[in-house]
Amino acid sequence: MSEESKKILKSLSDELEKGELDDVGRRRLISQARKLVSSLKNEGDVIMDVFFAVSWIPLDPQDNVTLMVIPCFPFQPLQGNVIKVMMDLGLFKALVSGGHPQTAAQLAEQSNKNIDPQLLNRLLRFLAAHGYVDQVEDKYQGNSATRALARDESEYGAEHSVGFLYDGYNKIPEHLKRIGYVNPADKKYSPLSLAKNMDGKDTFEILAVDPALEATNKWFRAVSAQYTPWIQTYPFLERVPMVNDGEVQFVDVGGNLGHQTLILKEANPQLPGRFIVQDLTNIVPATSHLAPAGVEFQPYNFYDEQPVKGAACYYMRYIVHDWGNADGIRILTRVREAMKPGYSKLLINEWVVPEQGASRMVTGADMVMMVAGSGMERTLAQFRELIEKAGLKIGEVFYAKDEISPAIIEVVVA
Ligand SMILES: C[S@@+](CC[C@H](N)C(=O)[O-])C[C@H]1O[C@@H](n2cnc3c(N)ncnc32)[C@H](O)[C@@H]1O
């Protein structure tokens, strides 16, 4: 625990010791408690906050981590949008590199845009009230949250969340009303398609023509670094058959920039065989230069026949949750057709929603999936149903020890 956290905690407990609190004292304590939460966060927590645009207050005391989603928190869109403005102005970086308190007027001069210092002061005051910057008399300075917000990863998260998904969040009530409050299942008819005036297009077709595409792909990679590397959850070397040179060891279906494949490859450079990252044509060519030795990129639409047959391992992270059940079954069926029974494994790397007491992060991710393309986070029973309908069966489920990283569902041909 940092010195700052200890100081706040001590002043909190001193106040509590004093006994009965009036309303002013109680509110002062709430404010101190918020500061305590802010001071406990590390940069990874703040980066996740930006994507989920959470409040600083952990409303649910059972959560032992603080990066949780509070989808209905009224300040959420304000926080996210003001943060995005500050990023557009390049001012989190200026606050951090300045190293000393600065007035709004001094900061305005460092912006890459022309901003009225009065307006900037209002934005900064708001951010200080939420703990994203510190106010020192009439000046502002960066704190640990500001440092996280100044990082490129936070900008990718904000671009994807505030720049791309927020419009869809605002359309949840209208969309659910127009579909008569049934469980959304149509990937081309979603709050996002309604918001973007693109009914008839799925998430990735909408994203393909959106300015947020590049930042989104970088965000997918950045977010993977915030979780426990998947090979720490799944003992790959013990569970997956090793291949000979020239055979396919690993296929990362919908693997985007290939960051998950790299985690495996870099930890096990001795592994023989081919490592293939598959994704849509508008993603793969743009990332080919990133392919390190031994990793190949392959344009592939996972609704089509899987071109790589009989690989030792097919891997899908955050793929099934993007889609409703009918699409999920189609996508999984394509993998099953290519798998060699009794040999190939399919790893589904996703959150498994507990039947009770699901966290804010997982339930929030479920809402995000619903917004983007009628997808969903699933319980184990829901995964099992999907997997079995695709002619597959669950072998074993491996849960991450940190309780926030996604699980690995090991699947084989039924
Ligand atoms: C949520 S991202 C997950 C990316 C990566 N697996 C990860 O965990 O970071 C979903 C990925 O599926 C890809 N995708 C969407 N539709 C696809 C399709 N029809 N065929 C192949 N890839 C697709 C997207 O381009 C994107 O890279």
Indicate whether 209 and 292 sit together in one domain.
no
The Å distance, Cα 199 to ligand 1 centre, comes to 20
In a domain? residue 30:
no
Indicate whether 243 and 358 sit together in one domain.
yes
CATH of the domain at 303: 3.40.50.150
In a domain? residue 357:
yes
Indicate whether 312 and 368 sit together in one domain.
yes
pLDDT at 288: 65
Specify the number of domains making up the chain: 3
In a domain? residue 2:
no
The Å distance, Cα 99 to ligand 1 centre, comes to 40
What range defines the domain where residue 85 resides?
41-149
CATH of the domain at 103: 1.10.10.10
The Å distance, Cα 320 to ligand 1 centre, comes to 9
Kindly list the distances between the CA atom of residue 342 and the CA atoms of 148, 236, 336, 395, in Å, as whole numbers in the listed order: 46, 17, 12, 11
In a domain? residue 16:
no
Q: Is the CB of 97 within 6 Å of ligand 1?
A: no
Indicate whether 173 and 112 sit together in one domain.
no
In a domain? residue 20:
no
In a domain? residue 114:
yes
Cα–Cα distance between 132 and 79 in angstroms, integer?
9
Domain edge (last residue) among 194, 219, 244 = 219
Indicate whether 329 and 191 sit together in one domain.
no
Indicate whether 235 and 214 sit together in one domain.
no
Q: Mean pLDDT per 10-residue run, the chain (414 residues)?
A: 86 85 79 81 70 39 30 56 93 90 96 96 92 91 84 85 90 97 96 98 96 89 79 96 95 93 91 94 74 83 97 97 97 98 98 89 87 96 98 96 88 98
Indicate whether 281 and 194 sit together in one domain.
no
Domain edge (last residue) among 149, 182, 206 = 149
Indicate whether 144 and 290 sit together in one domain.
no
Out of 192, 204, 278, mutate this one to test ligand 1's pocket (max ligand atoms within 8 Å of CB): namely 204
Indicate whether 295 and 168 sit together in one domain.
no
Token pair listed for 204: 């990735």
Indicate whether 238 and 299 sit together in one domain.
yes
Out of 187, 231, 278, 279, mutate this one to test ligand 1's pocket (max ligand atoms within 8 Å of CB): namely 279
Q: What is the pTM of this model?
A: 0.84
Token pair listed for 301: 């639409």
In a domain? residue 31:
no
List the catalytic residues. 321
Indicate whether 249 and 202 sit together in one domain.
no
pLDDT at 244: 93
Indicate whether 369 and 276 sit together in one domain.
yes
pLDDT at 319: 97
Query: Do 94 and 112 contact (CB within 8 A), yes or no?
Result: no
Q: Is 81 left (phi over 0), alpha (psi -120 to 50) or beta?
A: alpha
